[in-house]
Amino acid sequence: MLTRINDWGLGRWGDLGGDLEASFRALDGLRREMDRWATDFDRQFGGVAGGRSLSRVGPRMSLYDAGSELKLRVELPGFQDDDVQLSIDGGTITISGERQVGTPEGYTVHRRERGDLTFSRSATLPTKVDPEKSTALLEHGILEVTLPKAPEAQPKQIAVKVG
Partner 1 sequence: MSKDAAMVTRQPQTPDETTSQPRGYERALPLVDVLENDDEILILADMPGVAAHGVDVRLERSELSISGRQAVPDGAEPAWRPLEFARAFTVPDSVEAERVSAELHGGVLHLRLGKGDHAKPKRIQVTSG
Interface residues toward partner 1, by CB under 8 A: 1-10, 12-14, 16, 19, 22-23, 25-26, 45, 48, 50-55, 59-60, 62, 64, 66, 71, 73, 75-80, 101, 103-104, 106-114, 138, 140-142, 144
Comparison of 137 and 150: residue with beta carbon closer to partner 1: 137
Comparison of 82 and 152: residue with beta carbon closer to partner 1: 82
**Alpha-carbon distance 104 to 7, whole Å?**
22
- CB atoms inside a 10 Å sphere around CB 63: 21
**Alpha-carbon distance 119 to 78, whole Å?**
14
Least separation, in Å, of the C-beta of 16 and partner 1? 5
Comparison of 72 and 160: residue with beta carbon closer to partner 1: 72
The C-alpha angle with vertex 42 and arms to 87 and 73, in degrees rounded to 5, equals: 30
Least separation, in Å, of the C-beta of 159 and partner 1? 26
**Alpha-carbon distance 141 to 53, whole Å?**
11
Comparison of 89 and 139: residue with beta carbon closer to partner 1: 139
Least separation, in Å, of the C-beta of 160 and partner 1? 26
**Strand-pair category, 69-75 with 61-65:** antiparallel
Least separation, in Å, of the C-beta of 130 and partner 1? 19
Comparison of 31 and 110: residue with beta carbon closer to partner 1: 110
Of 88, 85, 59, 63, whose CA–CA distance to 73 is shortest? Answer: 63
Least separation, in Å, of the C-beta of 67 and partner 1? 9
Of 27, 23, 37, whose CA–CA distance to 117 is shortest? Answer: 37
